[in-house]
Chain A
């Protein structure tokens, strides 16, 4: 049997490739794109009045509601705003750290830093979020420190920004670190030897080379913040795209589907811009 199977594939590179890729491509098309397709179809459905059950009749009512009602625009802008802010914050925090890891630290220190950055990813997302809920709570450690000096910990959007920036930080550090690793040290030496000011080296040599890596990292931080609904609902009462989709998922699934199309469109636009900026050229 094994022999005949081997015989079947022998000398047929296309068949070999097909058998190799059938699994992953099938999964991608059916499992991933398929569920997106279902989502798109469902977004045109509506609910019956007394039954509150989904009726499979096509209408644009859900999208009309999304456009007509101010509250959804506010929620979308709030979500995109926080996602952008988190991305910028993470980039600012990640750049110096990643530079130190890639170009300054050597041997043991470097290994320890990489482990330290990856360490938070070993614990569950929920554990981290609940830890933040405790930290930020009224009787939590943050207020315990801040209250005596007349301050109080962040709440609402600020709390969401803080927690999201913490949770997604490793996803920004790793791509930037990898990007900086790829820059040969000789380039930096050459720049120095030719008399460039360190700042000029950063601006003219490092920045253009690391920029695609930052954009790649920003795709993670931006999209993950855009879609989050657990953390944001645990540290803030404000509504975000994710929380509204989640709330409507039980009451009005077609509307939830319609609203879920919004972040998809935003991400498509974001990815197109990222492509323009060269994020995918050295992947």
Chain B
């Protein structure tokens, strides 16, 4: 043990160095970040900056690499000279954290991400006068609580749709049409270990929606406004479901592979996944559950730190231009935001099937939104916040 004296002295030096580093860094950090948005909207759209970095839901920014026939990014690049770099966001949480890096110009944010982004100043208000196609957007999508503040729009509506219930038709007979297929124990027993669910805290709302239909005593009026009892009931339901889950999915490719190789046979899905699986001749089909469904309503938002705002405005106008909006809506399987898009869909009934004007069921969907402590009714500030939802979700998975 002769040589020990000097190594231990080095160790102490290293520890001292780290401490100095922590102190320096901690102090430095405390003052560096003001996180504020400029809060200013653009007044004119000038020449494009030649580049555009987007965060998209899978299926929103197709450049022909998934299917050569599905491509609205390349024509945009040709028209505007803005080279588009696409980053796929798998969950709203991922999109929010990606946006906060400040490296992206815009995002196709769902309602559960938009409020977080607006409140934190990550996105700028949008001057809708600079987006000519905005005037044709369905009125039901304008000035909504999830995309505007005090009448000021914070983005351009893109489209909306429901979370669906998918079945493998070879195994699940008859096809699942009710949420009981994934929440009722007797039903779950039939496909034990092959049930799937969306791996995000926001999925708690699906359980709440089922409770709304099956346990009226709980008095749930909105699946995103849950007080203690209602929240715990939803968590308990999900814990039961957990025993029958084969795997959760958040990456859409993971669900595709699970349905392809038989690991999952029933569970929540998006139309785009259904589309891709059917295109691959897999025996699957997806429906809006009869209890109703949660859904998404997406908004293109512009980063407050955008380096390429002109390209982003060009993109926002492009993506909701009638023809492109129709292409995206058909590919992703959602209702387009632009009313004129309905004239361009290859299936003339697309807008009716997807209820684009919201007259049949779209206005009754419970769109993803960020749960807040304010219940939005006379219960006051007793509702579970998104923090609680995140913790609850970890407990569900155990």
Contact = CB atoms under 8 A, between A and B. Distances in A.
Interface in A11-57: 29-30, 33-34, 36-38, 40-41, 47-53, 56
Contacts of A69: 391, 395
A96 B225 CA distance: 60
Given A239-B394, A250-B97, A29 B14 contact: yes
Interface stretch (B48-56, B60-68, B211-219, B243-251): B243-251
B22 A52 contact: no
A51 B119 contact: yes
B339 to A, nearest CB: 32
A247 interface: yes
A248 interface: yes
A56 to B, nearest CB: 6
Contacts of B279: none
B372 A49 contact: yes
A41 B115 contact: no
Contacts of A75: 398
B398 A49 contact: no
A48 B262 CA distance: 41
A201 interface: no
B35 interface: yes
Contacts of B21: 29-30, 33-34, 37
Contacts of A252: 387, 390
A232 to B, nearest CB: 11
A237 B248 contact: yes
Contacts of A36: 18
Interface stretch (B23-31, B293-301, B311-319): B23-31
A3 B21 CA distance: 37
A138 B262 contact: yes
Given A33-B18, A37-B25, A52 B370 contact: yes
Nearest to B30: A56
A88 to B, nearest CB: 25
A254 to B, nearest CB: 11
A247 B394 contact: yes
Contacts of B248: 237
Given A29-B21, A38-B25, A237-B246, A250 B93 contact: yes
Contacts of B96: 52, 250
A29 B93 CA distance: 32
Interface string B149-181: 000000000000000000000000000000000
A113 B26 CA distance: 51
Interface string B33-56: 101000000000000000000000
A185 interface: no
Contact of B373 (A49, A65, A72, A133): A49
B32 to A, nearest CB: 9
Nearest to B396: A71
Contacts of B33: 56
A72 to B, nearest CB: 8
Between A41, A49, A51, the greatest number of chain B beta carbons within 10 A of the residue's beta carbon is seen for: A51
B359 interface: no
A22 to B, nearest CB: 14
Given A50-B115, A53-B120, A37 B395 contact: no
Contacts of A253: 97
Contacts of B397: 237-239
Interface in A197-217: none
A139 interface: yes
B35 A53 contact: yes
B116 interface: yes
A138 B263 contact: yes
B94 A250 contact: yes
Contacts of A234: 254
B398 A239 contact: yes
Contacts of A247: 199, 394
B193 interface: yes
Interface string A108-143: 000000000000000000000000011001111000
A240 B395 CA distance: 12
Given A56-B30, A252-B387, A33 B25 contact: no
A38 B261 CA distance: 42
Interface in B69-87: none
A65 B391 contact: yes
B91 interface: yes
A155 interface: yes
B22 A40 contact: yes
A49 B385 contact: yes
A269 B199 CA distance: 33
Given A49-B373, A50-B370, A50-B372, A29 B17 contact: yes
A190 to B, nearest CB: 29
A71 B390 CA distance: 13
Nearest to A236: B247
A59 interface: no
A74 interface: yes
A139 B262 contact: yes
Interface of A: 29-30, 33-34, 36-38, 40-41, 47-53, 56, 65, 69, 71-72, 74-75, 133-134, 137-140, 155, 234, 236-239, 244, 247-253
8 contacts: A30-B21, A34-B25, A51-B116, A71-B398, A138-B263, A237-B246, A250-B94, A251-B97
Given A52-B96, A138-B261, 19 more contacts: A29-B18, A37-B21, A38-B25, A48-B120, A49-B387, A52-B116, A53-B100, A56-B30, A138-B263, A139-B262, A140-B261, A236-B247, A237-B247, A238-B398, A244-B394, A248-B390, A250-B91, A250-B97, A253-B97
The 10 tightest CB contacts between A and B, nearest first, are A138-B262, A51-B120, A137-B261, A139-B262, A250-B93, A51-B119, A53-B120, A37-B22, A250-B97, A251-B93
Interface of B: 14, 17-18, 21-22, 25-26, 29-30, 33, 35, 91, 93-94, 96-97, 100, 115-116, 119-120, 193-194, 199, 201, 242, 245-248, 254, 257, 261-263, 370, 372-373, 385-387, 390-391, 394-395, 397-398
